[in-house]
Structure 1
Amino acid sequence: MDLDVFVIGGVGIDTIVRVPALPLPGQETIPVQPVETYVGHTGHGVVLGCHRLGLHPGLADVIGDDAEGWRIRRAYEELGLPLTIAVHPSGTRRSVNLVSPDGNRVSLYDRRHPPGMRVDPNLWRGRVEQARHVHVSIMDFARRALPDVLAADCSLSTDLHDWDGDNEYHRDFAQCADIVFVSTSALRDKAIDWIFASGRAEVVIAMAGADGSYVHVRGEEPVHLPAIDIPGRPVVDTNGAGDAYVAAFLTTWLDGRSYYEAAEAGTIAGAWACGSRGTHTDLITAEQLMLLRR
Structure 2
Amino acid sequence: MAPRRTARHRAADPPGCRRHGLRPRGGRPELTRDTDVLVLGGAGVDTIVYVPELPLPYADSYMIDSGIRTRAGQTGDFVALGLSALGLRTHHLDMIGDDPEGELVRALHRDRDIPLTAVPQPAGTKRAVNLVAPDGRRLSLYDTSRSHTDDRLPEPVVRALAAGSRHVHVSLTQPCAHALPVLRETGVPLSTDLHDWDGENPYHEPFAHTADVVFLSAAALKDPERTMRGIVERGRAEVVVATAGAEGAFLLADGELTRIPAVVPRAPVVDSNGAGDAFAAAFLFGRLSGEPPARCALYGAVAGAHACTVPSTRAEAIGRADLLARAAEEESAPTAARPA
Instruction: Give, in whole Å, the separation in 1 of the partners of 2:170 and 2:313.
Output: 20
Alignment of 1:63 onto 2:113: no
**2:270 aligned partner, one-letter code:** V
Change beyond 3 A, Cα 1:126–1:136? same
Whether the 8 Å contact between 1:211 and 1:226 is mirrored in structure 2 is: yes
1:21-36 matches, within 5 Å, as 21-32=53-64, 33-36=66-69
Q: Contact 1:225–1:264 (CA<8 Å) still a contact in 2?
A: yes
Q: Tell me, in whole angstroms, the C-alpha distance in 1 between the residues paired with 2:67 and 2:100.
A: 20
Instruction: Name the structure 1 match of 2:126.
Output: 93
Offset of 1:280 from its aligned partner?
A: 5.7
Q: How does 1:204-283 map to 2 (within 5 A)?
A: 204-220=240-256, 222-231=257-266, 233-278=267-312, 281-283=315-317
Q: Which residue is equivalent to 2:323? A: 289
Q: In 1, distance between residues paired with 2:55 and 2:289? A: 42
1:14 to 46, 51, 59: 46
Q: Aligned runs of 1:196-207 on 2, under 5 Å?
A: 196-207=232-243
Query: Residue 53 of structure 2 aligns to which amino acid in structure 1?
Result: A
Name 2:35's counterpart in structure 1: 3
2:72 corresponds, among 12, 31, 39, to: 39
Q: Is the 8 A contact 1:201 1:218 kept in 2?
A: no
Task: List aligned pairs for 1:41-190, cutoff 5 A.
Answer: 41-111=74-144, 112-189=146-223, 190=226
Secondary structure of the structure 1 residue equivalent to 2:304: helix
Does structure 1 retain, via aligned residues, the 8 Å contact 2:159–2:186? no
TM-score with structure 1 setting the length? 0.96
Equivalent pairs, count: 292
Q: Give the SS at the match of 1:150.
A: helix
Which of structures 1 and 2 has the bigger CA Rg? 2
CA distance in 1, matches of 2:206, 2:308: 31
CA distance in 2, matches of 1:281, 1:36: 12
Question: Where does the alignment leave 5 or more consecutive residues of structure 1 unmatched?
Answer: none
Contact 2:265 / 2:308 at 8 angstroms: preserved in 1?
Answer: no
Q: Is the 8 A contact 1:55 1:251 kept in 2?
A: yes
* Displacement after TM superposition at 1:75 (Å): 2.0
Q: Which amino acid aligns with 1:225?
A: I
What's the C-alpha RMSD, in Å, of the aligned pairs?
A: 1.3
Q: What is the CA-CA distance between 1:110 and the residue it aligns to?
A: 1.6
**Superimposed CA distance per residue, residues 81-120 of structure 1 (whole angstroms, 9 cap, x where no aligned partner):** 2111111211000010000011111111121201232342
Residue 125 of structure 1 aligns to a residue in which SS? Answer: helix
Bigger mean CA offset, 279-288 vs 44-53: 279-288
Contact 1:84 1:123 survives alignment (8 Å): no
Unaligned runs of at least 5 residues, structure 2: 1-32, 329-340
Q: Give 1:141 shift.
A: 1.1
Deviation digits for residues 107-156 of structure 1 (CA, Å, limit 9, x no counterpart): 11121201232342234220100100000111111112212222224211
TM-score, length of structure 2 as denominator length: 0.83
CA contact (8 A) 2:195 2:217 kept: yes
Does structure 2 conserve the Cα–Cα contact (< 8 Å) formed by 1:45 and 1:280?
A: no
What CA distance in whole angstroms lies between the structure 2 residues aligned with 1:249 and 1:255?
A: 10
- Percent identity, aligned pairs only? 45
Deviates more, 1:116-125 or 1:57-66: 116-125
Shift of the alpha carbon at 1:158?
Answer: 0.3
Deviations 1:232-289 (A, max 9, x none): x110011100000000000011000011000000000000011111156221000111
CA 1:115 to 1:148, structure 2 compared with 1: closer, same or farther past 3 Å? closer
